[in-house]
Amino acid sequence: MRTVGVEEELLVVDPSGTPVPLAPEALATAARHGEGETVEEHARAEQEAPPPGDLGGARLVPELKQQQIELGTRVCRTLTEVAAELRHWRSRADAAAASVGARVAALATSPVLVEPVPTQGDRYQRMLETFGLTALEPLTCGCHVHVSVADDEEGVAVLDHIRVWLPVLTALTANSPFWQGTDSEYASFRSQVWTRWPSAGPTGRFGSPATYHRVVEDLLASGTVLDDGMVYFDARLSATWPTVEVRVADVALLVEDAVLLAGLVRGLVETAARDWRAGRPAPDVRTEVLRVAAWRAGRSGVSGALVHPRTGRPAPAAEVVAALVDHVRAALADSGDLALVERGVADVLRRGTGADLQRRVHATSGDLAAVVRAAVAATHGD
């Protein structure tokens, strides 16, 4: 059974629904309870290599903006564990925020107007100096899923095989329809904003660990990508843990959708590893086509057509999602995840994504702040 872990970025908001730069104070509270790291502690920890084999524990940590808190689950073996971890750490992040008069919301962008406030620290300062408005303007929250791999050879083979399916995950998790007080007309506008980073987006087939590591070294040697943490590929080998890290998803409004994502990612990794061991080649799809597929996924979510990974042609979202589930069906059955994933997919296709839920609240209330307040409730299962 491959292990899985999830990282989520959450917005810190005040009772009116406006994101507020109170994460440093909230994290100080979490640190006093042994549940998180202050900005200063996190900066020191990032400079220290973890002990060999140490997969780390759950924690609450800072992100690029002071209106964000990131949580990380412990290493999990079942999706039931993933769900429990996410509920626990969302609750603890909310408690830390409540200690300074705020809440947390699983929103991938802020529906209301907001001026992002950068987090203090040498690394964040270098990012601001290097990337200007690309680093200063966005306030976006994603979800990253880590799945264990045996070694870099298996990990790179997985990256080469799963790349064509990643836009479907973006569509299923879309949760950022609003941007600075306006409906963006996208289901995931976060995915569009994210492409401003020079190292972000889909990758070509690497073929070997040597090629993968050479690409990363060349990016670092360019002087543009500041460190390993800024290799923002849609999926990458973790620089810290023995995992493949899939990074295409918006943070999910509902825990159930985050668990669905974790199950699909683990299914994709296991299916890819089996295909590689069986000698089946990775799909030969151009990166330019994947970029278009990713754009379409961010635009449509599950409400319109997606680019089908097998044909490169438009197809209804339900058909493309069904193809993804069929692709990983054997792996899901073997891990015991099939029933949960099928139920989760059916729920998303029936009720829509987080973006659809946000728009329904706005259509009813006419108030973007009400969308944020509803999101706070949904984040915690209410």
Mark out the alpha helices in the chain (DSSP H runs). Answer: 23-32, 39-46, 79-98, 122-131, 133-136, 152-162, 166-172, 189-194, 209-221, 255-277, 287-300, 317-327, 329-335, 338-351, 354-365, 368-379
pLDDT at residue 41, rounded to an integer:
77
**pLDDT value for 38:** 83
| Average pLDDT by stretches of 10, the chain with 382 residues | 96 96 96 88 62 56 96 97 98 98 98 96 92 95 98 98 98 98 98 96 98 97 93 95 97 98 98 98 97 98 97 98 98 98 98 98 97 97 85
Q: What is the pLDDT of residue 52?
A: 35
Q: How far apart are CA 243 and CA 151, in angstroms?
A: 8
Q: Give this prediction's pTM.
A: 0.96
Residue 304: what pLDDT? 95
User: Which residues, at least 6 apart from 81, have a Cβ–Cβ distance to it below 8 Å?
Assistant: 74
Q: Count Cβ atoms within 10 A of the Cβ of residue 323 and give its class: 0-12 exposed, 13-18 middle, 19 or more buried.
A: middle
The domains of the chain, with CATH numbers, are 4-379 (3.30.590.20)
Q: In terms of residues, how long is the chain?
A: 382
First to last CA, the chain: 32
- 113: which DSSP letter? -
